[in-house]
Amino acid sequence: MAIRKVKLVKIGTLAFEAFEKPDPAIRIMKYFCGIGTGSNVIYIETDDRNIIVDTGFDYEDNFRGKNSETNRENLIIR
Protein backbone atom coordinates (compact mmCIF):
# COMPACT_ATOMS: atom_id res chain seq x y z
CA MET A 1 0.00 0.00 0.00
CA ALA A 2 1.82 3.09 -1.25
CA ILE A 3 0.85 6.40 0.33
CA ARG A 4 0.13 9.02 -2.34
CA LYS A 5 -1.06 11.92 -0.21
CA VAL A 6 -1.24 12.97 3.45
CA LYS A 7 -3.22 16.05 4.41
CA LEU A 8 -3.64 17.70 7.80
CA VAL A 9 -7.33 18.58 7.75
CA LYS A 10 -7.64 20.16 11.19
CA ILE A 11 -5.26 21.05 14.01
CA GLY A 12 -6.71 20.46 17.46
CA THR A 13 -5.73 20.43 21.10
CA LEU A 14 -6.46 17.99 23.89
CA ALA A 15 -8.61 18.90 26.85
CA PHE A 16 -6.39 16.89 29.21
CA GLU A 17 -2.81 15.75 29.19
CA ALA A 18 -2.12 12.09 29.94
CA PHE A 19 -1.02 12.90 33.51
CA GLU A 20 -4.09 15.01 34.40
CA LYS A 21 -7.08 13.75 36.32
CA PRO A 22 -10.19 14.77 34.33
CA ASP A 23 -11.55 17.12 36.99
CA PRO A 24 -14.79 18.84 35.84
CA ALA A 25 -13.62 22.23 37.18
CA ILE A 26 -10.42 22.03 35.11
CA ARG A 27 -12.39 21.03 32.03
CA ILE A 28 -14.76 23.99 32.45
CA MET A 29 -11.82 26.37 32.92
CA LYS A 30 -10.09 25.02 29.80
CA TYR A 31 -13.37 25.20 27.85
CA PHE A 32 -13.74 28.92 28.57
CA CYS A 33 -10.06 29.49 27.73
CA GLY A 34 -10.51 27.77 24.36
CA ILE A 35 -8.36 24.79 25.28
CA GLY A 36 -9.56 21.31 24.46
CA THR A 37 -11.02 21.86 21.03
CA GLY A 38 -10.74 18.36 19.66
CA SER A 39 -8.04 16.42 17.96
CA ASN A 40 -5.98 16.58 14.82
CA VAL A 41 -7.69 15.14 11.77
CA ILE A 42 -5.46 13.51 9.15
CA TYR A 43 -6.44 12.35 5.64
CA ILE A 44 -4.31 9.62 4.01
CA GLU A 45 -4.70 8.63 0.37
CA THR A 46 -3.20 5.36 -0.82
CA ASP A 47 -3.27 3.45 -4.09
CA ASP A 48 -6.33 1.45 -3.10
CA ARG A 49 -8.13 3.39 -0.32
CA ASN A 50 -8.66 6.69 1.46
CA ILE A 51 -8.31 6.85 5.23
CA ILE A 52 -9.36 9.56 7.67
CA VAL A 53 -7.94 9.51 11.19
CA ASP A 54 -9.84 11.45 13.83
CA THR A 55 -9.55 10.77 17.54
CA GLY A 56 -12.19 13.19 18.77
CA PHE A 57 -14.45 16.17 18.17
CA ASP A 58 -14.56 19.80 19.25
CA TYR A 59 -16.21 19.90 22.67
CA GLU A 60 -17.41 16.34 22.20
CA ASP A 61 -19.21 16.39 25.54
CA ASN A 62 -21.57 19.06 24.10
CA PHE A 63 -24.37 17.01 22.52
CA ARG A 64 -26.40 19.95 21.22
CA GLY A 65 -27.45 19.60 17.60
CA LYS A 66 -25.47 22.58 16.29
CA ASN A 67 -22.19 21.38 17.81
CA SER A 68 -22.69 17.87 16.41
CA GLU A 69 -23.55 19.27 12.97
CA THR A 70 -20.49 21.56 12.98
CA ASN A 71 -18.22 18.64 13.88
CA ARG A 72 -19.76 16.52 11.12
CA GLU A 73 -19.24 19.30 8.55
CA ASN A 74 -15.63 19.77 9.63
CA LEU A 75 -14.91 16.12 8.77
CA ILE A 76 -15.98 16.50 5.13
CA ILE A 77 -12.98 16.56 2.77
CA ARG A 78 -13.44 18.82 -0.20
pLDDT tens digits along 17-39: 666 676 778 777 777 776 766 66
H-helix segments, 7-64: 24-33
Please tell me the pTM assigned to this model.
Answer: 0.48
Domains in the chain, number: 1
Sheet bearing 3-10, strands edge to edge: 3-10, 41-46, 50-54
Q: Say what the pLDDT of residue 56 is.
A: 66
Per residue of the chain (78 residues), what is the pLDDT tens digit? Answer: 799 999 888 777 666 666 667 677 877 777 777 676 666 788 999 999 999 887 666 666 666 778 778 777 776 754
Question: What pLDDT, on a 0 to 100 scale, did the predictor assign at position 58?
Answer: 63
Range of the domain at 19: 3-74
For the chain, report the end-to-end CA distance as a whole number of angstroms.
23
